[in-house]
Amino acid sequence: MAPVSPGEEMYALVERLYPLCRSITGDGVRATLDVVGDHLPLDVHEVPTGTQVLDWTVPQEWNIRDAYIADASGRRVVDFAESSLHVLGYSVPVSATLPLSELRAHLHTLPEHPSWVPYRTSYYRPDWGFCLAQETLDAMPDGLYEVRIDSTLADGHLTYAEHVVPGQVADEVIVSAHVCHPSLANDNLAGIAVATFLARALAERTPWYTYRFLFAPGTIGAITWLARNAERVRRGAVRHGLVLACAGDRGQLTYKRSRRGDAGIDRVLRHVLDTSERPYRITEFTPYGYDERQFCSPGFDLGVGSLSRTPYAGYPEYHTSADDLDFVSPEAMADTLAVCREAFSVLDRDRRYVNLSPYGEPQLGRRGLYDALGGRSDAKQAQLALLWVLNLSDGEHGLLDIAERSGLPFDTVAAAADALCDAGLIKA
């Protein structure tokens, strides 16, 4: 058999997760984390209902076993067993027989896309409902329908998980993916898959930073994590961060800056995307979107950006049944993963150095530095990088500063710094 590529492995993980009914709490989240746990060791946290987390309270736990709308013959015209999108998220239990005229108030469709099923929720207001294709609704004659939602809304827990890749220093980089959406392949599952395989890739080496991967329900999960880690965050334990979402569609990459706009992660992603041959967009921070808005809330103001392909609400399939397994591709997820790996490689190697021979240019030839570059195809660039690193190694400029100012590739600048360190001409 041909070896399986990382993109194909990530796609297989998305396929496995796709049928599960996820929400902001409940067994669907636990089942999702169990699957991710087959790839990564996870530290799973359960936070009880009623726990105060910043300005929020952990809600009751929601679980669902079955739901349907059946016509007079007993045929299920809408069936939760066919898709977890068919039920309004957090629906309270219902068992009733209703005329279609009364049932319509609880039905959600997309008239502009009559074959698609929308994704809708009612997390913090007790309600119930069904989501269905407009063409299904159009085919339902007037009459009585049996309506059943076999769900529970009771005191329980909010569940989230962490995976830590230890680094050479305790300073942390957070990578966050939300785990609260049901059968949506791009908005939810592709981000989970890329985060999972990114963690595995980082563990193959010992990174400089410690990387903390957070798999949590959107909004309330990030708020809960921040509430439980507020003191660590305020002490500066988190240096950088990245939220991954919508990571598998065929659109171009989009990076959304942190609230600061010039945080380390902002500069790194701009540099990596700028020097690649990929089409991309960089957008400014807005307090709307995914959990970057929690990490970037003014009290924390962390340097956390967001990486996606087509961003949230930027494609017609967003939050509909058309965000399915055909909407994402192994190639797109592999490309997102490659950019993340390159970005964190730059982040890990971006150091400031001090020139130990700052008076005049040191003689590089007698130290063998020019000779060592003789066989390289980019020898002229490499020689120029030596000079740039020597000149800007004043304790104030990092390697990314030097790469940006010189216009040289970061890898070339980092290789020059390594060579100069080995020769005793600079030190970190």
pLDDT of res. 404: 94
Chain-centroid distance of CA 163 in Å reads: 14
Nearest one of 341, 339, 323, 342 to 249, comparing CA atoms: 323
Per-residue pLDDT tens digits for 256-302: 999 999 999 999 999 999 999 899 999 999 999 999 999 999 999 99
What number of helices (H) and strands (E) belong to the chain?
Answer: 14, 19
Per-residue pLDDT tens digits for 162-187: 999 999 999 999 999 999 999 999 99
The total number of structural domains in the chain stands at 3
Q: Are residues 263 and 369 in the same domain?
A: no
Per-residue pLDDT tens digits for 121-133: 999 999 999 999 9
Average pLDDT over every residue of 92-103: 98
Q: Are residues 356 and 221 in the same domain?
A: no
**pTM for the whole thing?**
0.95
Of 349, 371, 392, which marks where a domain is finished?
Answer: 349
Structural domain harbouring 95: 63-154
Q: Are residues 187 and 330 in the same domain?
A: yes
Q: Is 319 annotated as a binding residue?
A: yes
Contact 243, 292 (CB under 8 A): yes
Q: Are residues 244 and 363 in the same domain?
A: no
Q: Are residues 205 and 224 in the same domain?
A: yes
Mean pLDDT of the chain: 95
* pLDDT confidence tier of residue 365, bands split at 50, 70 and 90: confident
Count of C-beta atoms within a 10 Å radius of residue 23:
23
Instruction: Please indicate, yes or no, if residue 1 is contained in any of the structural domains.
Output: no
Q: Are residues 100 and 127 in the same domain?
A: yes
Whichever domain contains 405, its CATH number is 1.10.10.10
C-alpha distances in angstroms, 270 versus 326, 401, 409?
30, 12, 13
* pLDDT confidence tier of residue 370, bands split at 50, 70 and 90: confident
pLDDT of res. 364: 87
Per-residue pLDDT tens digits for 193-220: 999 999 999 999 999 999 999 999 999 9
Q: Taking every pair of C-alpha atoms in the chain, what is the biggest distance, in angstroms?
A: 94
Residue 374: pLDDT above 70?
no
Q: Are residues 216 and 283 in the same domain?
A: yes
Q: Are residues 306 and 367 in the same domain?
A: no
Residue 305: pLDDT above 80?
yes
Length of the chain: 428
pLDDT of res. 222: 98
Residue 314: pLDDT above 80?
yes
Interatomic CA distance for residues 88 and 107, integer angstroms: 9
Q: Are residues 243 and 342 in the same domain?
A: yes
pLDDT of res. 2: 65
Interatomic CA distance for residues 32 and 18, integer angstroms: 9
Interatomic CA distance for residues 409 and 127, integer angstroms: 55
pLDDT of res. 233: 95
Per-residue pLDDT tens digits for 214-250: 999 999 999 999 999 999 999 999 999 999 999 999 9
Q: Are residues 336 and 359 in the same domain?
A: no
Q: Is 181 annotated as a binding residue?
A: yes
pLDDT of res. 375: 55
Q: Is 187 annotated as a binding residue?
A: yes
What region does 314 belong to: left with phi over 0, alpha with psi -120 to 50, or beta?
A: alpha
